Amino acid sequence: MNTFTNEPLTDFSKAENKNKMLAALEKVSHECGKTYPLIINGEEIMTKATIQSINPSNVDQTIGIVSKASKHEAEKALEAAYNTFTLCADWKSTTPKIRADYCFKAAQRLQEQRFEFAAWMTYEVGKNWAEADADVAEAIDFLNFYGHEAIRFGKGGDVLQYPGEKNELVYIPLGVCVVIPPWNFPLAILVGMTSAAFVTGNTVVLKPSSETPVIAYKFVKLLEEIGLPPGVVNYVPGSGSEVGDYLVTHPKTRMIAFTGSKDVGLHINELAAKTAPTQKWIKRVIVEMGGKDTIIVDKDCNFESAVDGVIASAFGFSGQKCSACSRVVIDESLYDKFIEQLVQKAKTITIDEAQKNPPMGPVSSKQAFTSILNYIEIGKKEGELVLGGKKIEKNGYYIEPTIIKDVSPTARIAQEEIFGPVLACIKSKSFDESLAIVNNTMYGLTGAVYSNNKKNLDKAKHEFYIGNLYLNRKCTGALVGVHPFGGFNMSGTDSKAGGNDYLLLFLQAKSIAEKENVPGNSR
C-alpha cells in the first residue's frame, strides 16, 4: 500500500523558519561563483567550454560557472549509462525495494537541506521564498511517491490464471533514459523525471537547462552522497542543438523525458521518431510542452475569490509556470467591475530581488525578458493596456504585472504562450461561449472555472478540454499524488506526472507463462 503523504510547506511567518532561510541565503551567497564539473560514471570532468549561470535578480552576480559538455562528453555519458544498465550486475540485480530506498534516502537528505536548496533556486532562477520552498517540497514528494509506486509495480500486474499454467506479468526497465528538464521548476521537475527513470531500473543521462545547471549539479551530488551507484545518473549540461540533439538521436538511447517549450518538444519527438542505424527499438518519448491556460469567471461566482485566484495564477512566479493563467474569460455582466478589481489587486504587487522575498521577482533570463516585452507591444495593438506593460529599471530582468483588456479570442496574445506576467482579458456573452473560447487554442494543459452554478460546473467537467481542470480555485499549484499533471494536444503527451500510472511510461510489461508439471510425464 502506498503510504505517501504530501510534504508540508514552510510557514515563513514563524521566526524560526525565517531565520533558517536567511541563514541559507547567506551561506549560498558566499558559494556563488564557484566552478562545477560534469559528472560521468562518477568521474568529475572539467571542460574548457563553460556555461555561466546568472542571477536574474542581479545580472552582475554569477551563480556558478559550469562545465559544458560537447558531443564527446555526451557520447561518454551515454556509454556509461548504457554499460551501467546492461553490464553492471549490482544495478541489474537491484530489487524495486532497494531502488526505492535510494529515493527515500534522497528525500530525507533534501528535507535536511531544504532551506539551502530553496536558497539556490532563489538566486539561480529568481523564485521568492514560498515558490522556492514549494519547489523543494514537490521534489521531496516526487521521490517519496515514486519510491512507493516502484515497490507497487515491482509486485507485477494482475492476470488471469489459465488451467495448467502459472501466469505472471512483470514490469522491467527500458534502458538509457535521456532526461531534459526545464528551468522554471529546476529542482522539482528535474527530480521527478530523473527519479522516475532510475527507480524503475533505468539509467539516466541528465541534460539540465543551461539557465539552471547549478541546482541540477547540487542534486546529482546529493545522489552521490546517498550512495547511488556511479553511472546510474550522469550529469552533462550542454547546448540543446549540439548535446541535446545528439543524445536524442543516439541509437543507444531508449527513451527521452522532456519538459519545456512546444517547439523544442516537437523537435525532439521528430528526431526520436527516426530510426538510427543499429537501433534495436522504437524510442519512447515523454514531452510536456506548456499551455495557454484560461480561467472562466461565470456571472454567478464568488467574486473576490475569483479575483484572488486569477491574480495568484497569472502573476505567481512572474507568470513563468506552464500552468499559469494567461487568459481570463469574464462574463459580460461582471466584465468591467472584474477588470477594475484585477487592476487594483495587481497594483499592490511589489517587485524586488527574489532574495528579499517579494510577491514577484524577475523573469528568468535576458531572452525571456526580451520576448515578453515584445509580446506586450503586440498586445497593446490587440487590446487596451490597463496596467503595467513596462520594464522596471533595476539591475535584473524585471517586468511590471501587465493586464490587457478587450482582447479577441483569436489575437496572438490570446493564442501564443508568453510565459511571463501578462494577462489577456476576454469578454464573454454566456458560459457556452466561454467554453468555446477556452477550447480554441492548440494547447490543453490547465484551466479553472469560478462558478456557483452546478450545471455549468458539470458542463465544464465534460467540455473544458484540458488535462488539469480546477473548479473554484486557482489553476496553478498541482500536488503530487493529488493532481496528476499533464496536458492534451500541443501541451504534450499527457504523461500525468505524480500520478499512479506515470511509472508505467518508464517500464515495459513482460508476460510469463509456465506450464505446470503433469503427473506421469516427468522422468
% of the chain exceeding 90 in pLDDT:
96
Chain-centroid distance of CA 243 in Å reads 21
Predicted confidence at residue 518, as pLDDT, reads: 62
- Given a contact cutoff of 8 angstroms between Cβ atoms, the answer to whether 244 and 207 are in contact is yes
Helices (H), 316-384: 335-347, 366-382
Mean pLDDT of 313-318: 98
Q: Which residue has the cell 560514471?
A: 41
Model confidence at 222: pLDDT above 90: yes
Mean pLDDT of 238-250: 96
Residue 425 known to be catalytic: no
Cβ neighbour number for residue 310 with a 10 Å cutoff = 28
Name every residue whose Cβ is closer than 8 Å to that of residue 462 and which is 6 or more positions away in sequence: none
Average pLDDT, the chain: 96
Residue 322 known to be catalytic: yes
At 91, the pLDDT band (50, 70, 90 cuts) reads: confident
d(CA 474, CA 501): 25
Mean pLDDT of 111-130: 98
Mean pLDDT of 11-23: 98
* Closest alpha carbon to 40 in 4, 77, 13, 68: 77
SS3 16: helix
Q: What is the largest CA-CA distance in the chain?
A: 90
Mean pLDDT of 354-358: 97
Model confidence at 477: pLDDT above 50: yes
Mean pLDDT of 123-146: 98
Model confidence at 77: pLDDT above 60: yes
Angle in degrees, CA 151, 154, 160, rounded to 5 = 130
Cβ neighbour number for residue 230 with a 10 Å cutoff = 16
Amino acid present at 309? G
Global confidence as pTM: 0.96
Catalytic-labelled residue, pool 322, 325, 425, 475: 322
- Given a contact cutoff of 8 angstroms between Cβ atoms, the answer to whether 181 and 259 are in contact is yes
% of the chain exceeding 70 in pLDDT:
98
At 349, the pLDDT band (50, 70, 90 cuts) reads: very high
Mean pLDDT of 218-241: 97
Mean pLDDT of 267-276: 97
Mean pLDDT of 472-495: 97
Predicted confidence at residue 93, as pLDDT, reads: 79
Q: In the beta sheet, which residues pair with residue 423?
A: 403
Predicted confidence at residue 87, as pLDDT, reads: 82
Catalytic-labelled residue, pool 288, 353, 400, 417: 288
Mean pLDDT of 20-45: 98
At 2, the pLDDT band (50, 70, 90 cuts) reads: low
Domain coordinates of the chain in residue numbers? 69-289+492-510, 293-471
Model confidence at 92: pLDDT above 80: no
Pairing label, strands 446-450, 253-259: unpaired
Name every residue whose Cβ is closer than 8 Å to that of residue 74 and which is 6 or more positions away in sequence: 205, 236, 238, 243, 246, 247, 250
Model confidence at 522: pLDDT above 90: no
CATH level 2 (architecture), domain 69-289+492-510: 3-Layer(aba) Sandwich (3.40)
Predicted confidence at residue 517, as pLDDT, reads: 79
Model confidence at 523: pLDDT above 60: no
| pLDDT tens digits, one per residue of 442-468 | 999 999 999 999 999 999 999 999 999
* Closest alpha carbon to 91 in 199, 221, 208, 219: 199
- Given a contact cutoff of 8 angstroms between Cβ atoms, the answer to whether 488 and 152 are in contact is no
d(CA 95, CA 88): 14
Mean pLDDT of 377-392: 98
Domain 293-471: CATH superfamily, name plus number: Aldehyde Dehydrogenase; Chain A, domain 2 (3.40.309.10)
The DSSP symbol for 391 reads: B
